Chains A and B, each alone.
Chain A
């Protein structure tokens, strides 16, 4: 099936998310849509999927114009979508999720569950997925959930499959499996639109690449283009890939984590007896696929969750069992994983957000009374220092872009003298400019002697920032890799993220490179040339 978009324009208020976008997807091709966060890729796909009405433009299927009043129409036309945030009902079974919206029914009008199971089985067998139709979706790991999404799309006879940032939650090896599935689908004649901001993946799988920036198509490229070319096309200026930083000068050990065990409410071991150290002036990255205990680890250190056993000491003082307030006062700076949920108060002004954990310090309060003048003066200074672009310090933080919100969080956390900085997913969803800024500030903090923990699921970020890499899998530490000694192997880290012990991972990686791993090697060769 051939799919064509002509002059698609979508506005939200004054913001033009898509500006006259043209795109042609030929039958049986893997077409990559490359653009950085906020470029308008997902908006475009939501238009294509019938989720948004375009303000202008046309969608053509096999050269016939079509209008979609909703996702139902798009599906009927053969367009399937695997969303970045899975569109699965957590408390439904796999089979229920797959048939939702086009349920087979018995003569009595009830859902024909055997038929629903059969549909799941059929597709999952065809692609070698191991998915139990009766499993609750909320009990499945993310990789399996993604497969359920693919089954859902394929069971509706999708001829064009849109994959929105599908690798964000996968290890390199899982990504490899996904790429294999994509190729299998392509061979069967299914077209694939692959949305991503990751250059390597694009080069590895795409037949054609369309790059969009700020809502406009800025060009197309073929997969042979170099990463630097793609990056400058995507960002609109030449960017230096990677972070400029001096080698770490680790001092004495500041943070000691010993035998830490954390249970969730259901009694499941989220962190399972882990131990590691962080020294002054080094960045330790906790790498791992989302949901392997990293979130719990940071939250326990901050005092948001109780630990079942173990100890966490900062400069010799125990942190466990203390309130969040006490931990913050002890000099821990915390950049939460979910910025809008935990980092800022959207309805508070920028100025108020900048004192969210400092409101009762003598700098801003006298006794129990706040001093508005001091709050304001602080905000004026911090917004300049951290390059926060806001109409005024009184603007609601919710109106700022993600990058500027993250700068507000950083500015706040770095306005106290720190003995430890914990930053979770510090650049998730940010544009390249903000990523560079955030990385620079984190490295500066390290260079001033602060021990830093970065939690990231993005291997690129881990490789860019870390002095040492701790890989977590199912609540345990699989291994610790020294990033300064040599260039760490992406495939080794990826295998470790999938739970393969370090030595075994090194062996396996040496015998078999993933597509992305190979791309790394090529990139390294290019650089050395």
Chain B
């Protein structure tokens, strides 16, 4: 006897609908790296079309397309190629640079940009795996920056201690903000997607308001900004003053390892994952899911708060209303691309950091606006989430191994085996 002729249990009972994210996330977790690369390629191709479409030379040559199609094609090629070369040179190495330091600066920029992305992405990844769709990294980063920044500029403390306290405060700020959503989810069942979206907006106005108060506003300045962060509370720079890369990157590495241990090796992470995969079974097994919801959001928010610290104590060194930029939203795509796994999120953060760093170089060298990076980013995530599409485009074989284990094609099947 073997298990093969048995009908998979999903068939045996038909309408059990899976927790919301499970199907999509499982799809993401199981699709292989080849699909990831292919998705990135596809995103670059589609964005390339957009780049070409907005290019002046392409427009000019398109007007005599039928007379000299080669002109058109080479214009298309030039516009896209130059943009992407600039992107690469701005993100990894610039071989045209005069000194070695300048040549590798792009890589350090990529790493610098990636710090908040990785930290916030890890936070969201923890949430996703626990079944909580935390869209609120933006607000949590802001609150992290507010808390961390306040400690940073308002208190004079000895060097190491000051930085440490500011970092802890930032984590606390993010944790509190996310904790509100976790608390409401646990107490009233309020949908965390809606609550975190709302908290994002509230955070934006909150920081704007705080920057008008005497406690936060810089004296003698008309701009809504805080006093500069004390030098004692600034992340030390890793490669000297010529490079922006700061110790926050080390924090991101530590956080990645921590999240791996938390999710894969700790009893708490076991509970997180159980609640994420099947909350009712977790509850029946004695896991207090309300407590877990709160803890997940606190963990998630604390990591996003650390991302806020990377901004306010690392690169910006001052608290402004725009301190979080759009890192909170970008982090969603980072976590999704990283399939909510720590290493994946780390790498996805580096990739999107590279897109950002390279995007600025591209904008200044070829005039291609950095907004195209958003297009690449969102397309990558869409494609990653739909492996069949990517496989169809590139004629990749569908994974056979999975099918043998589970003969059912889709996450929600209706087969009611008699």
On whether A and B touch (CB less than 8 Å), the answer reads yes
Within B1-24, the residues touching A (CB, 8 Å) are 1-16, 18, 22
Q: Is A504 among interface residues, defined by CB-CB distance under 8 A?
A: no
Q: Is the CB of B406 within 8 A of A370?
A: no
With a cutoff of 8 Å between Cβ atoms, the chain B residues found around residue A395 in the complex are: 405
With a cutoff of 8 Å between Cβ atoms, the chain A residues found around residue B280 in the complex are: 341-342
CB distance from A504 to the nearest CB of B (A): 37
| Contact with A44, one of B22, B282, B406, B418 (Cβ below 8 angstroms) | B418
Q: Is the CB of A403 within 8 A of B6?
A: yes
CB distance from A113 to the nearest CB of B (A): 29
Q: Is the CB of B22 within 8 A of A399?
A: no
Flag the segment in A1-9, A12-20, A138-146, A239-247 that touches B: A12-20
Q: Is the CB of B266 within 8 A of A43?
A: no
Q: Is the CB of A84 within 8 A of B416?
A: yes
Q: Is B268 among interface residues, defined by CB-CB distance under 8 A?
A: yes
With a cutoff of 8 Å between Cβ atoms, the chain B residues found around residue A343 in the complex are: 281, 284
With a cutoff of 8 Å between Cβ atoms, the chain B residues found around residue A338 in the complex are: 13, 16
With a cutoff of 8 Å between Cβ atoms, the chain A residues found around residue B278 in the complex are: 341, 344-348
Q: Is the CB of A17 within 8 A of B277?
A: no
Within A2-39, the residues touching B (CB, 8 Å) are 12-15, 17, 33, 35, 37-39
With a cutoff of 8 Å between Cβ atoms, the chain A residues found around residue B320 in the complex are: none
Q: Is the CB of A340 within 8 A of B13?
A: yes
Q: Is the CB of A304 within 8 A of B3?
A: no
With a cutoff of 8 Å between Cβ atoms, the chain A residues found around residue B268 in the complex are: 368
Flag the segment in B78-86, B242-250, B382-390, B407-415 that touches A: B407-415
Q: Is the CB of B407 within 8 A of A345?
A: no
Q: B277-302, CB under 8 A of A: which get 1 and which 0?
A: 11011111111100000000000000
Q: A14-B407, A352-B270, A368-B266 are in contact. Are A402 and B284 (CB under 8 A)?
A: no
Number of interface residues of B (CB under 8 A): 52
Q: Is the CB of A42 within 8 A of B13?
A: no
In the complex, A323 Cα to B284 Cα: how many Å?
10
Closest to A343 in B: B281
Q: Is A390 among interface residues, defined by CB-CB distance under 8 A?
A: yes
Q: Is B417 among interface residues, defined by CB-CB distance under 8 A?
A: yes
With a cutoff of 8 Å between Cβ atoms, the chain B residues found around residue A42 in the complex are: 415-418
With a cutoff of 8 Å between Cβ atoms, the chain B residues found around residue A134 in the complex are: none
Q: Is A160 among interface residues, defined by CB-CB distance under 8 A?
A: no
In the complex, A494 Cα to B270 Cα: how many Å?
45
Q: Is the CB of B417 within 8 A of A43?
A: yes
Q: Is B365 among interface residues, defined by CB-CB distance under 8 A?
A: no
Q: Is the CB of B281 within 8 A of A342?
A: yes
Q: Is A275 among interface residues, defined by CB-CB distance under 8 A?
A: no
CB distance from A235 to the nearest CB of B (A): 14
With a cutoff of 8 Å between Cβ atoms, the chain B residues found around residue A334 in the complex are: 284
In the complex, A348 Cα to B268 Cα: how many Å?
15
Q: Is the CB of B11 within 8 A of A12?
A: yes
Q: Is A476 among interface residues, defined by CB-CB distance under 8 A?
A: no
CB distance from B294 to the nearest CB of A (A): 15
Categorize the interface residue count of chain A. 35 or more
Q: Is the CB of A400 within 8 A of B417?
A: no
Q: Is A324 among interface residues, defined by CB-CB distance under 8 A?
A: yes
CB distance from A53 to the nearest CB of B (A): 13
CB distance from A287 to the nearest CB of B (A): 22
Q: A394-428, CB under 8 A of B: which get 1 and which 0?
A: 01101111111100000000000000000000000
In the complex, A429 Cα to B16 Cα: how many Å?
14
Q: Is the CB of B271 within 8 A of A359?
A: yes
Q: Is B403 among interface residues, defined by CB-CB distance under 8 A?
A: yes
Within A198-214, the residues touching B (CB, 8 Å) are 212, 214
With a cutoff of 8 Å between Cβ atoms, the chain A residues found around residue B7 in the complex are: 15, 17, 38, 401-402
CB distance from B72 to the nearest CB of A (A): 46
In the complex, A43 Cα to B407 Cα: how many Å?
15
In the complex, A336 Cα to B283 Cα: how many Å?
11
With a cutoff of 8 Å between Cβ atoms, the chain B residues found around residue A398 in the complex are: 8-10, 406
In the complex, A302 Cα to B280 Cα: how many Å?
13
Q: Is A328 among interface residues, defined by CB-CB distance under 8 A?
A: yes
Q: Is A41 among interface residues, defined by CB-CB distance under 8 A?
A: yes
With a cutoff of 8 Å between Cβ atoms, the chain B residues found around residue A40 in the complex are: 417-418
Q: Is the CB of B12 within 8 A of A399?
A: no
In the complex, A324 Cα to B286 Cα: how many Å?
5
Within A348-371, the residues touching B (CB, 8 Å) are 348, 352, 356-357, 359-360, 365, 368-370
Q: Is B274 among interface residues, defined by CB-CB distance under 8 A?
A: yes
Closest to A335 in B: B284
In the complex, A391 Cα to B6 Cα: how many Å?
12
Q: Is A195 among interface residues, defined by CB-CB distance under 8 A?
A: yes
Q: A85-B14, A323-B286, A336-B284 are in contact. Are A345 and B274 (CB under 8 A)?
A: yes
Q: Is the CB of B9 within 8 A of A402?
A: yes
In the complex, A368 Cα to B417 Cα: how many Å?
42
With a cutoff of 8 Å between Cβ atoms, the chain B residues found around residue A45 in the complex are: 418
Q: A14-B403, A356-B274, A405-B9 are in contact. Are A43 and B2 (CB under 8 A)?
A: no
Between A and B, 24 residue pairs with Cβ closer than 8 Å are A12-B11, A13-B409, A15-B407, A17-B7, A38-B7, A38-B417, A43-B416, A45-B418, A84-B416, A195-B418, A324-B286, A324-B287, A324-B288, A341-B281, A342-B283, A343-B281, A345-B277, A347-B26, A357-B285, A368-B267, A399-B405, A403-B6, A404-B9, A429-B12
13 other A-B residue contacts (CB within 8 Å) besides A12-B11, A339-B13, A370-B270: A12-B413, A13-B407, A15-B7, A37-B418, A41-B418, A164-B418, A324-B283, A327-B286, A334-B284, A342-B281, A399-B406, A401-B9, A402-B9
Q: Give the top 9 A-B pairs by smallest Cβ distance, nearest first.
A: A41-B418, A13-B407, A401-B6, A42-B418, A325-B286, A357-B285, A402-B12, A389-B3, A42-B416
Residues of B within 8 A of A (CB): 1-16, 18, 22, 26, 261, 265-268, 270-271, 273-274, 277-278, 280-288, 403-409, 413-418
Residues of A within 8 A of B (CB): 12-15, 17, 33, 35, 37-46, 51-52, 84-85, 164-165, 195, 197, 212, 214, 302, 304, 323-325, 327-329, 334, 336, 338-348, 352, 356-357, 359-360, 365, 368-370, 372, 389-391, 395-396, 398-405, 429, 431
